[in-house]
Amino acid sequence: MIVILRKSVSSKKKGAYQKSRRIENLKRHKLAKQYLASIQGKDIAEYRDERLKNVFQASVRLELALLSHLFNTAIREWGMNGILIPVTQIRLPKNAMSRDRRLFQGKVEKLLASCDEYGGDLPCVVRLALATGMERGELASLTWGNIDLKKRTATLPETKNGEKRIVQLSQEAVRIPRNLPRRFV
C-alpha cells in the first residue's frame, strides 16, 4: 500500500516534503502491510486513535486525507472500482482551533543565540524569517531578483496557496539581506 502511496505523491507538488514525512509515519503502521481492498473503516479508526495519542488532531486529519487520496486514486485511475474508501466510514478528528505561532518573550533570544552558535547562514535565515513571517518554502525560493531594497519589498511569485504575494520589509528585514553574500538570496 505505501509503495503505491509514495508513487501517487509527486515530489514536485507543494508540500511534498511534509507528505513524504506522513508516508514515513504510515510505513511504520500495520496498515502498510495490508492490501488496499482489505482495509476497513475499523482499521482506519484504530490508526486514527493510535496516532491521536502521539500527535495533534490536525496532523491526523492530514494523514487521513492522504489515505483518502490514495483510495480515490486507486478507484479513479487504477480501475479498482470494487473497493470502498474506508476513511469516509469514520469520524475525523475535529479541526483544531488556530494556534498563536509567535515565540514568547525570551524564546527569540534563546533561538538566535543557538543559531549564532551554529554559525553559517542559519542566523541570517532565522532572523529574516522572524522579521518577515515568511514560511520555510517562501524563504527557500527567495532570490535577489525578488527583493527590491529601495521599495522595501520581497515578491514571492508563488506561495503555498499558489498566489503571488508581496511582503513589505521592515528596516531589520532590509538590513539582513544586505549582509548576505549574493550566492545566498
pLDDT in tens, 69-91: 999 999 999 999 989 999 999 99
Question: Which of 17-21, 44-48, 112-116, 130-134 is the least confident region?
Answer: 17-21
Topology of the domain comprising 107-178: hpI Integrase; Chain A (1.10.443)
- The pLDDT value recorded for residue 9 is 54
Residue 10 has pLDDT above 60, yes or no: no
Which CATH entry fits the domain spanning 2-89: 1.10.150, 2.30.30, 1.10.3470, 1.10.260?
1.10.150
pLDDT at position 65, please? Answer: 92
Given strand 147-148, what is the order of strands in its sheet?
147-148, 153-156, 165-168
- Domain ranges in the chain? 2-89, 107-178
∠104-136-134 over CA atoms, to 5°? Answer: 65
pLDDT tier, 177 (very low <50, low <70, confident <90, very high otherwise): confident
Rounded to whole angstroms, how far apart are CA atoms 86 and 53?
A: 21
Does 30 score more than 80 pLDDT?
yes
